[in-house]
Structure 1
């Protein structure tokens, strides 16, 4: 049985962005544009009061998401793409761009929307378990959690997109804290929307 891969860290992402300022072609990829449309279409509310985007990179999706959020905190583990994100969002005072290494760092406030898009498979399972608990703890009751991930296998990622989503699906079973609202599977990505149950 192969040895599980560790979580990918700042060193990995710094090297990726040093080689290419837009390594996943967020600005130009048809795949990304279609996925962004599905991401925004999956959100049932026209406006969210306080949102948290993990892995904002150069801020392409952040810019689109900001129109639906009164306040948006967008973070990334590498400082290199954040300069571009700050420039892109410079005219939007309701967006805060911050360097943050999840799960070792996490904001203290709570949110009614958290977006984990193309990030979960960078974590080894023990770290993803910490991430999952933090996300649940920092969602208000009725708050929504949207996961969107590439599903094909990538050799240097600790997990696949399906493994990430299935891990979160466990929290919808046997009285778990999340309800599952929406599922969509495209050719190469998966989207699942969850909502935190009211506290009893």
Structure 2
């Protein structure tokens, strides 16, 4: 890990969205569609009382996730992405979309599902560690945490997807002092998913 690399902040993402409203081609990408389908299949438990999606972008995955949550809070650091997600999700009364820059901003609520998908590697190690503590603190006992990240190296990102997942795996285990239990992993050629449960 390169400790000199800083978190990619809201201005970075607003610049991306200014140039292209769908900078990762979420709307058309076959890769993204298959990954979203796998993400939903990976989640256990049917319906969750309260879900929290960190990094909702344009709200495409949120529109699938809201079917599994009685209430869903979806957040993003980009003003443009939040506006796009709010338009997409406006008809769904169980979804709230907010502008929030994790870890400096964090909701006060407790959740039985938190999804961190394709976001963790934008944070510096220090900011991801801070986010991890807040995420663990926001999960209800028995609540699920799902991580999904692209694993190939991207030079401008502070972390790799594998490094993000290992940082959370470090707080999981059989010992009662560990806040998370690591339930399962799925590794694909270009991404991985890890599911945890709050002790």
- Unaligned segments of structure 2, at least 5 residues: none
Q: So what's the TM-score if we normalise by structure 1?
A: 0.96
The C-alpha deviation readout for 1:58-113, integer Å capped at 9, x for no partner, is 00000000000000000000110122211111110100000001111100010000
Q: Is the 8 A contact 2:52 2:114 kept in 1?
A: yes
Any unmatched runs of 5+ in structure 1? Answer: none
| Partner Cα distance (2:12, 2:131) in 1 | 19
Shift of the alpha carbon at 1:10?
0.9
4+ long deviations beyond 2 Å? 1-4
How many Å apart are 1:2 and its aligned residue?
Answer: 5.9
1:4 Cα deviation from its structure 2 partner: 2.6
Rounded to whole Å, the distance in 2 between the matches of 1:137 and 1:5 is 26
* In 2, Cα distance between equivalents of 1:133 and 1:111: 14
Q: Deviations over 1:111-138 (max 9, x none)?
A: 0000000000011111100000000000
> Contact (CA 8 Å) 2:3, 2:124: kept in 1 or not?
no
Give the distance between the partners of 1:9 and 1:135, measured in 2 at CA. 19
1:195 to 191, 194, 197: 197
Change (3 A) 1:21 1:129: same
- CA distance in 1 between partners of 2:24 and 2:44 (Å): 27
Partner of 1:178: 180
Quote the RMSD (CA, aligned, Å). 1.2
How many matched pairs?
Answer: 197
